[in-house]
């Protein structure tokens, strides 16, 4: 996901103006975008682990419990919705194999 907005912005610049004239300097429009994307990926990718270690940041012990609670809540909501839809649910009719 990193760089998608930058790349989309660079690629959204038109090649031609509305009157058909070429857009000024279209050859160099992508190079700065790719440079920004590559730099952020390399800098963040190579320094994030080191920085987290130096700052002493560690994982949250409550995360597994919260994730389990979120999954249970989502499943309960889905089952409740399915049960509410059950009375009006119908099975679609299938055509006999000879008419396929």
Tell me the whole-structure pTM to 2 decimals: 0.41
Q: What pLDDT does 77 receive?
A: 96
What average pLDDT does range 7-29 have in this prediction?
78
Percent above pLDDT 90 for the chain: 25
Q: Are 35 and 43 in contact (CB under 8 A)?
A: no
pLDDT digits (tens, 9 = 90+) for 54-84: 999 887 788 899 999 999 999 999 999 988 8
Q: What pLDDT does 44 receive?
A: 85
What average pLDDT does range 17-42 have in this prediction?
80
């Amino acid at each position: 996901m990193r760089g998608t907005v930058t790349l989309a912005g660079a690629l959204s610049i038109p090649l031609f103006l509305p009157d058909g004239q070429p857009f000024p300097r279209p050859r160099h429009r992508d190079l700065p975008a790719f440079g920004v994307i590559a730099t952020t990926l390399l800098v963040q990718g190579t320094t994030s682990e080191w920085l987290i270690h130096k700052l002493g940041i560690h994982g949250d012990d409550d995360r597994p419990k919260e994730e389990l609670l979120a999954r249970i809540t989502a499943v309960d909501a889905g089952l409740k919705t399915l049960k509410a839809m059950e009375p009006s649910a119908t099975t679609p009719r299938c055509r006999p194999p000879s008419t396929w």
